[in-house]
Structure 1
Amino acid sequence: MNIVLIADTRKYDLLVNFCIAYRQILAKHHLISLFNISRTIHENTDLMVETLTTDMSASIEQLAAKAHYNEIDAVVYLRDPLLRTYDTPNSLLKACDVNSIPLATNVATAEILILAVDRGDLDWRELIR
């Protein structure tokens, strides 16, 4: 499965801790993230993470395009509700909705999502690609 792991700046540590906790599951999948967080995840977990090297907004657009082509199977996007742009839907969120790609925006739903991936609940996504 192709799993996106991203977070708003204030949620980086939470995402890294999530990756540490679920390292054994995440290691079985192709992971995608942004440059800064990708490096931090790798340094703390030894997980191999495909890195998008553009800025945040360009990377979101790039991920949205991948979602539209069903090249992404699940997204963990730990969002910061205190950001002014929190209520503004972005193209990645819309692409996930349009293409029925599971999206977790907090650590509780991220845990449910990653355990579902491990159980095989999302194996149907492989058929779409």
Structure 2
Amino acid sequence: MKIALIAHDRQKTLIVKLATAYQPILAQHELFATGTTGQKIIDATGLSVKRFKSGPLGGDQQIGALISENKMDLVIFLRDPLTAQPHEPDVNALIRLSDVYEVPLATNIGTAEVLLRGLDQGLMAFREVVHDQDSNPINL
């Protein structure tokens, strides 16, 4: 599975802790991240992470493009709900694309842990049947 890891500045320490705690699970998958978040995860865990640009510089949109091409299976985006973000439209677009293409999305640590534990237990098989061969959403 392809997993995107994103975190706002005040959540970067938390996503590094998450990646460290779930390193054995994450190591089995293809990881993607926005710039600084990805580097912090690499430094702390040694996991292989494909890094995109920083979120405010287009990294959120790069991940959104993969979602729209059905090339992303799960997104963990630890948002800071108490700080205004200058790239909020990009954040909203990423969340919208996750909904449109039925990609599981965690925006807080509790949901992130549930998704990672479910992934480890093989509970994400629905991702294989939700889209047809043309990567178009199928109504179940």
Task: Using structure 1 for the length normalisation, give the TM-score.
Answer: 0.91
Q: What's the counterpart of residue 27 of structure 1?
A: 27
Q: Is the 8 A contact 2:2 2:72 kept in 1?
A: yes
Alignment of 1:40-119 (within 5 A): 40-52=40-52, 54-57=53-56, 58-85=58-85, 90-119=92-121
Q: What's the counterpart of residue 36 of structure 2?
A: 36
Shift of 1:3: 0.3
The separation in 2 between residues aligned to 1:111 and 1:118, in whole angstroms, is: 11
Q: After the TM superposition, which of the residue ranges 76-85 and 11-20 deviates more from structure 2?
A: 76-85
* 1:65 partner amino acid: A
Question: How many corresponding residue pairs?
Answer: 128
The separation in 2 between residues aligned to 1:85 and 1:97, in whole angstroms, is: 21
The separation in 1 between residues aligned to 2:26 and 2:113, in whole angstroms, is: 11
Q: After the TM superposition, which of the residue ranges 119-128 and 58-67 deviates more from structure 2?
A: 119-128
* 1:71 partner amino acid: K
Runs of 5+ consecutive residues of structure 2 not aligned to the other structure: 136-140
Q: What's the counterpart of residue 9 of structure 1?
A: 9
Task: Using structure 2 for the length normalisation, give the TM-score.
Answer: 0.84
Larger radius of gyration: 2
* 2:94 partner amino acid: L
Root-mean-square deviation over aligned CA pairs: 1.8
Percent identity between matched residues is 36
